């Protein structure tokens, strides 16, 4: 992967020659395998991840259960990580590579400095806070008001749309963790959906057929 051209493609808002030069000079590129933990809850961060390919799954743990907060796609960063870097506090969430993911890691010392010096970076930071704030509000509404059946459907549809596939590589337990419920509940719902012709249950994956 040619990093500079990929950066220009997925982060067009950052295409100012002097800013791009600094990013390429100071950021480190890594490739994370699917399932690799990038950020752990409770960790102090030394870098801010900019996703240029693949995706990160951001979640929180509570009482032994995981709840999915959002995904970080190419051209985005993690608001939880951004906040932790900004205020030098522990990360309130865990970020895991959902697929093989290419990440530019920006040292935290540059985040505020670039905000002062570069308008495009400042706007990127502000837009990140705004978009994730709205997304987390939607998550709150979903958890508070939608049934678990609706949340399962929305999760599967969202994954299918995001990855452009009808085959979703996820176990019942992983789906339960993502939605903050139990495997038994998810298995019962998925079995009913299969009987209704909405999906097909495969080994380690789910195929959408009629959602």
Kindly state whether residues 8 and 83 are assigned to the same domain: yes
Q: How far is CA 31 from CA 21, 28, 76, in A?
A: 21, 10, 16
Say how many domains are in the chain.
Answer: 2
Contact 53, 61 (CB under 8 A): no
Kindly state whether residues 110 and 180 are assigned to the same domain: no
The residues of the chain scoring below 70 in pLDDT are 1, 64
Closest CA to 111 of 60, 77, 136: 77
Cβ neighbourhood burial of 16 (10 Å; 0-12, 13-18, 19+): middle
Report pLDDT for 203: 87
Residue after which a domain boundary falls, among 90, 120, 144: 144
Kindly state whether residues 20 and 119 are assigned to the same domain: yes
Q: In this structure, what CATH number is given to the domain that contains residue 137?
A: 2.60.120.10
Task: Tally the C-alpha atoms within 13 A of residue 18's C-alpha that lie toward its C-beta.
Answer: 6
Find the domain containing 191 and state its range.
146-208
Contact 91, 81 (CB under 8 A): yes
Cβ neighbourhood burial of 9 (10 Å; 0-12, 13-18, 19+): middle
Kindly state whether residues 98 and 127 are assigned to the same domain: yes
Kindly state whether residues 139 and 175 are assigned to the same domain: no
Report pLDDT for 1: 61
Alpha-carbon distance of 27 to 166, in angstroms, equals 35
Kindly state whether residues 56 and 153 are assigned to the same domain: no
Could you read off the pLDDT of 46-104 as tens digits, one per residue? 999 999 999 999 998 877 677 888 999 999 999 999 999 999 999 999 999 999 999 99
């Amino acid at each position: 992967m040619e990093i500079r051209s990929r950066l220009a493609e997925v982060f067009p808002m950052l295409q100012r020659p002097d800013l791009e030069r600094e990013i390429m000079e100071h950021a480190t590129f890594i490739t994370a395998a699917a399932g690799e933990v990038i950020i752990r809850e409770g960790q102090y961060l030394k870098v801010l991840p900019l996703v240029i390919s693949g995706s990160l799954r951001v979640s929180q743990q509570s009482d032994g259960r995981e709840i999915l907060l959002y995904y970080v796609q190419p051209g985005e960063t993690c608001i939880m990580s951004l906040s932790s870097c900004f205020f030098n506090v522990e990360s309130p969430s865990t970020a895991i590579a959902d697929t093989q993911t290419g990440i530019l890691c920006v040292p935290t010392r540059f985040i505020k400095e670039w905000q002062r010096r570069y308008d495009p970076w400042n706007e990127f930071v502000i837009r990140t806070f705004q978009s994730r704030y709205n997304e987390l509000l939607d998550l709150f509404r979903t958890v508070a008001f939608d049934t678990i059946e609706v949340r399962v459907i929305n999760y599967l549809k969202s994954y299918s749309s995001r990855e452009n596939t009808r085959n979703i590589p996820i176990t019942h337990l992983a789906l339960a963790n993502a939605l903050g419920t139990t495997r038994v509940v998810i298995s019962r719902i998925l079995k009913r959906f299969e009987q209704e012709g909405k999906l097909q249950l495969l080994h380690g994956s789910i195929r959408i057929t009629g959602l």
